[in-house]
Structure 1
């Protein structure tokens, strides 16, 4: 594994062997997962630490993505964001975001004269939007099957 770090950002290149190892771990976890994943890390034979559940779930997601050959970007998101950052998170224009704010589809608050949004609200809107898109796609597929348009 090769890493290139510039300030707070790091890029890690995964070798084909490491990707194969990630697939093996992913498959193992998939076969044995009946509840929350528990991961224990150790240094030597005596010193071990049980990873917190949230971090263990993050590691499992990373292993899955690496095993599938995906590019993974990890970063922290501030609790509160500007409208420009929120629009970028949703991949929409700032005027479109402000329309959503005016229509109260995304909660916002004022800091002085500036509109701010909580990241958790922006991400919740994005998740809901993706779910609406998935539902619409499933409905479209059902109609295609019903009408025989998949021939």
Structure 2
């Protein structure tokens, strides 16, 4: 059976590929090269190296990955969806300066990099909150047991 089945818009990942990704996770400082049919070694640019490593990590950890191209300018609805908040919350953040926005006519738009920055910031906040909760739980072990 094939490791992956591919179409123009969908790749199915088998259990074998997921296991291979788990054992192949590379260190941050690793390099990736491609060998051409005539034996030449081609270096993979940093942006593609990061994409490949992030893809392998996602496959190894979740068994899935979603890759898509996001336009440079994003509507408020799309930005809210990407951030996992309501459009109302996003617009409050824009008004307060928590996230940069700009107007195109009467419509509010967001730069892709700004939304991705906010996405990373929210993920870091969630991770910190989770670690704080774990530390609290460790410090109070047995207190909440029945």
- Say yes or no: TM over 0.5: yes
The residue matched to 2:30 in structure 1 has which SS?
coil
Unmatched tracts of structure 2, length 5 or more: none
> What is the 5 A alignment of 1:78-89?
78-89=71-82
Distance 2:47 2:18 in 1: 23
Q: CA deviation at 1:69?
A: 4.9
Unmatched tracts of structure 1, length 5 or more: none
Aligned with residue 40 of structure 1, among 33, 37, 46: 33
1:144 maps to 2:137: yes
TM-score with structure 1 setting the length: 0.80
For the 8 Å contact 2:13–2:63, the answer to whether it is kept is no
RMSD: 2.1
Call closer, same or farther: CA 1:132–1:65 in 2, change over 3 Å.
closer
Q: 1:25 matched to which residue of 2?
A: 24
TM-score with structure 2 setting the length: 0.82
For the 8 Å contact 1:4–1:12, the answer to whether it is kept is yes
Aligned with residue 134 of structure 1, among 124, 127, 131: 127
Call closer, same or farther: CA 1:150–1:71 in 2, change over 3 Å.
farther
The residue matched to 1:49 in structure 2 has which SS?
strand
